[in-house]
Amino acid sequence: MSIPLIVTPEHEANLPSGQTVIYRPFLVKEEKLMLTIKENQNPEEIVRVMKRVVSNCVITEGFDVEKISYNDLEYLFIIMRARSVGEMAEYPIKCEKCGYEGTTEIDITKIGLSKDTPDDDKVMLTSTVGVKVMPVAVSGMVKLMKDAETDPIGILHHVIDSAFNDQQVWKFSDMTQKERDEFIENLSLPLVQKIMEKVEEFPRCCIKDQVICPSCGEMIDVYVEGLENFFT
């Protein structure tokens, strides 16, 4: 007779994008992956481990971690962590009033979006030509972190969903690499800036909490935005 395996509970998550997935809590095998984050504070490695953990734990059929937005990845990981380890997590604080520096516990279930999603996701480049932008998908995040300094314009490959004029729409995912490169390389720097300003309008996942300074009793606002900041 084989040894019985423990049945893990299943939970439902409604992601910032509106997608609903079913997931299980972290198991020992995920905790072992998490140890690499504590040992390696490289943001690229953090994202890689997050992808692996979330992919392991989501049991919804057809789920592909590479196709969800980075916001969805952050949100999923945090609520999985709350279900698996606990709702409180240690985070560094500094009191602006008395200068106290230390750590405190914050409630990670207070995760939400930093602002509302923009109503309009289009940017007009000329009177008839424009682009539709989108939040960065998980598939592009590691590359963005790696190429941010050496190829800052490269981010456009990951935030432009499509180009359009008054007659036709061209999905970037259907275009060849050469066609995408040609389109982007013919943009002026002011137009690139205009596109990036629209991208900045998209919200990020964040945790907002308040704690009392143990030294002077002042209320300290805690704001954590981005998984890389949560872990580093």
| Cα distance between residue 123 and residue 131, in whole Å | 5
Confidence of residue 47 (pLDDT cuts 50, 70, 90): confident
pLDDT of the residue at 75: 92
Give SS3 for 104. Answer: strand
Share of the chain above pLDDT 90, in %: 50
| Cα distance between residue 148 and residue 151, in whole Å | 6
Angle among Cα 138, 164, 157 to the nearest 5 degrees reads 30
Q: Which of 54-68, 141-155, 210-224 has the lowest mean pLDDT?
A: 141-155
Residue 151 has pLDDT above 80, yes or no: no
Q: For the chain, how far is it from start to end, CA to CA, in angstroms?
A: 46
Burial 29-39 (b: 16+ CB within 10 A, else e): ebeeebeebee
| Cα distance between residue 47 and residue 133, in whole Å | 22
Confidence of residue 184 (pLDDT cuts 50, 70, 90): very high
| Cα distance between residue 137 and residue 149, in whole Å | 19
Confidence of residue 152 (pLDDT cuts 50, 70, 90): low
Q: Residue 70: phi, psi to the nearest 5?
A: -65, -35
Q: Which residues pair with 106 in a beta bridge?
A: 89
Average pLDDT over residues 7-31: 91
Tokens of 34: 């998490």
Contact criterion met (CB below 8 Å) for 197 and 101: no
Q: Which of 25-39, 85-99, 110-124 has the lowest mean pLDDT?
A: 25-39
| 100-120 residue pLDDT tens | 999 988 888 888 888 888 889
